[in-house]
Amino acid sequence: MKSSPQAAPTSTTPPGPVLPSVKDLAIDVSPEDVVTATYKSGENLTAGITKDVARYETSLILKYALAKYPNLSAVNVHAKADLIDVYGNTNLREVATLTYSRASLDRINWGSFNTKNMWNEPIANAADIAPAFLY
């Protein structure tokens, strides 16, 4: 008599947050529960799409940080990108340095939030954005 295959055991522990698929993402957490994330945003079809995607990637990082580090007090984000100078040379540069307080992050309705506003104040409590990445 053949025995039926046994079902795989099920886990009652829900999976943790999934690290976003963002290029060269590095995350550090200070003893004061400040999360610092650095990543490289990729080039896209147009300058506008490149800017949109960089802001969307920041939103993914922030949602991950909120889920992974429930006691975080702030998040610092450093976005980098390859920029081409007037001579045609490509250099990896920081294009945005952003700070988000916990209070600001808690106010975001992620279901209807327009990520084009991700780098704007007052969403970002401090924002230093390279001219090539401004709207």
pLDDT value at 2 more than 90: no
8 Å CB contact between 100 and 65: no
- DSSP structural state of residue 45: S
pLDDT value at 116 more than 60: yes
> What average pLDDT does the segment 114-122 reach?
96
Q: What is the mean pLDDT of the chain?
A: 91
pLDDT value at 11 more than 80: no
pLDDT tens for 38-91 read 999 988 889 899 999 999 999 999 999 999 999 999 999 999 999 988 999 999
Q: How confident is the model at residue 44, as a pLDDT?
A: 84
In percent, the amount of the chain with pLDDT more than 70 equals: 90
Q: Report how far apart the first and last C-alpha atoms of the chain are (Å, whole number).
A: 71
CA separation, residue 43 to residues 13, 30, 51, 92 (Å)? 38, 31, 9, 12
pLDDT value at 7 more than 80: no
Where do the domains of the chain lie? Answer: 26-133
